[in-house]
Amino acid sequence: MPQRPLSPHLGIYRFAYTMATSIAHRASGIVLSVGFLLLGWWLMAAAGDEADYALAVAVIGSGFGKLLLAGWLIAFCYHLCNGLRHLNWDLGRGLEKVEARRSATVVVVVSAALALAVVYAAFFAGVPR
């Protein structure tokens, strides 16, 4: 295998907050991938007997479980919003430095608001049909 040139390591870049949004996209993606394991377990428990489901409810409904759920909801809101930003880039739009910085701010604000609403609905309010 020939040694191909690689992109420069993270460490050499000057920090910019667009970089933080990029790192957070990966981090939230990893968090959501772990959540996929939980989804599988929850569905298996639902397909199983009462004891299986009671165990899943006990674990997910515990204080720590709720904390994890809130974390996943926040990661989801961010990954969704920043994912839409990525799809817009893929259309070749918004790639200028100024635009990318502005959209970074928009994503942080919108995803924070969305996360607040979803976490509030999930744990404190419920949603009207």
Partner 1 sequence: MSLRTPLGKVLGRGSAKQGVSHWWVQRTTAVALVPLTLWFVFQLLHLPTTDQFAVREWIASGVNPALLVLFIASIAYHSALGIQVVLEDYVPNKAVKLAALLANTFIHVVVAVVAGYAVLRIAFTTLAQG
The residue among 7 and 98 lying less far from partner 1, judged by its C-beta, is: 7
The residue among 56 and 104 lying less far from partner 1, judged by its C-beta, is: 56
The residue among 9 and 98 lying less far from partner 1, judged by its C-beta, is: 9
Which of 8, 11, 50, 124 contacts partner 1 by CB under 8 A? Answer: 50
- Residue 96 sits in the site that holds partner 1 (CB under 8 A): no
- The per-residue DSSP string of 6-45 comes to -PPPGGGSPP-HHHHHHHHHHHHHHHHHHHHHHHHHHHHH
Which of 12, 37, 63, 96 contacts partner 1 by CB under 8 A? Answer: 37
- Residue 12 sits in the site that holds partner 1 (CB under 8 A): no
Closest listed residue to residue 107, CA positions, set 82, 88, 73, 80: 82
Provide the residue type at 73 as one letter.
L
Cβ atoms of 24 and 78 closer than 8 Å: yes
Q: Number of residues interacting with partner 1: please give it, by CB under 8 A.
A: 33
Buried b (16+ CB within 10 A) or exposed e, 46-69: eeeeeeeeeebeeebeeeeeeebb
Would you tell me which residues interact with partner 1 (CB under 8 A)? Answer: 2, 26, 29-30, 32-33, 36-37, 39-40, 43-44, 46-47, 50, 53, 57, 60-61, 73, 76, 80, 83-84, 86-87, 90, 118, 121-122, 126-127, 129
